[in-house]
Amino acid sequence: RKEVEQDPGPFNVPEGATVAFNCTYSNSASQSFFWYRQDCRKEPKLLMSVYSSGNEDGRFTAQLNRASQYISLLIRDSKLSDSATYLCGESGNTGKLIFGQGTTLQVKP
């Protein structure tokens, strides 16, 4: 089993739609979780850290479910500019940050 798994998609949604991605992780000792956004041929950029209590930033909400070992990202009112690849990452107490394959989102007019 891969350490971090994501559905690669692509997710094709119309503008204004709500879309959700999940990411599962296998390391029960994982301590920190992140969502990154990556545009084509660019470096990943931090979108959100994921806390046990959840985290919301405008149209974006991230949640952590430790019992089922997954994190989620919800995007409300999708914009064309949200089209990108979304990477989830987890790290434990060793300092390693492991990423999933990434989920591609295409928002259509």
Partner 1 sequence: NAGVTQTPKFRILKIGQSMTLQCAQDMNHNYMYWYRQDPGMGLKLIYYSVGAGITDKGEVPNGYNVSRSTTEDFPLRLELAAPSQTSVYFCASTYPGDGYTFGSGTRLTVV
12 binds partner 1 (CB under 8 A): no
Residues in binding contact with partner 1, number by CB under 8 A: 22
Looking at beta carbons only, is 38 or 72 nearer to partner 1? Answer: 38
Give a three-class secondary structure readout of the chain.
CCCEEECCCCEEEECCCCEEEEEEECCCCCCEEEEEEECCCCCCEEEEEECCCCEEECCEEEEEECCCCEEEEEECCCCHHHCEEEEEEEECCCCCEEECCCEEEEEEC
98 binds partner 1 (CB under 8 A): yes
The single residue among 78, 100, 105, 107 that binds partner 1, judged by CB under 8 A, is 100
- Options 13-21, 52-60, 72-80, 99-107: segment touching partner 1 (CB under 8 A): 99-107
Residues that bind partner 1 (CB under 8 A): 6, 31-32, 34, 41-46, 49, 87, 89, 94-102
